[in-house]
Amino acid sequence: MNAVPVSPNPEAKRVEIRTPMEVLVDLASVDVRVPAQEGVTVNISPRGARVLTPKPWKPNERLNVRSLLGSFRSRARVVYCVPTSDNQFAVGLQFFAAAGQWRMGS
């Protein structure tokens, strides 16, 4: 299996198309000592998403992601986390074992 290089630049050109979509999500670390937090997706693809959160996440941290507007669930890995100009953090997630719909009826 060949490794796909991941650019630390979140604006780097992607192979897959990202769909702009704002969906409220719950992000919970697999480490139960880390509190869960809500975020909002900026864009999504079958293999990942960019999410805005109020607090930072560590690169390579493992999360459980859950859509609060639909049935989407996935394990995820934090690829990057960068501060934004509006006191939030843009978090790049890579999905594993994703299932369900982002919004009910979609």
Bridge partners, 59 (sequence order): none
5 pLDDT higher than 60: no
3 pLDDT higher than 50: no
Domain for residue 10, yes or no? no
How many other CB atoms are there within 10 angstroms of residue 72's CB atom? 22
Is residue 54 a contact partner of residue 27, using CB atoms and an 8 Å limit? Answer: no
Is residue 29 a contact partner of residue 63, using CB atoms and an 8 Å limit? Answer: yes
Domain for residue 5, yes or no? no
Domain for residue 91, yes or no? yes
The CATH number given to whatever domain includes residue 71 is 2.40.10.220
Number of domains in the chain: 1
Domain for residue 4, yes or no? no
Domain for residue 12, yes or no? no
Q: Residue 94 is part of which domain span?
A: 19-99
Domain for residue 48, yes or no? yes
Domain for residue 105, yes or no? no
Domain for residue 74, yes or no? yes
Average pLDDT, integer, range 40-48: 96
Confidence of residue 59 (pLDDT cuts 50, 70, 90): very high
Is residue 23 a contact partner of residue 41, using CB atoms and an 8 Å limit? Answer: yes
CA 97/CA 85 separation, integer angstroms? 32
Considering only 6-15, 44-53, 59-68, 87-96, which range has the smallest mean pLDDT?
6-15
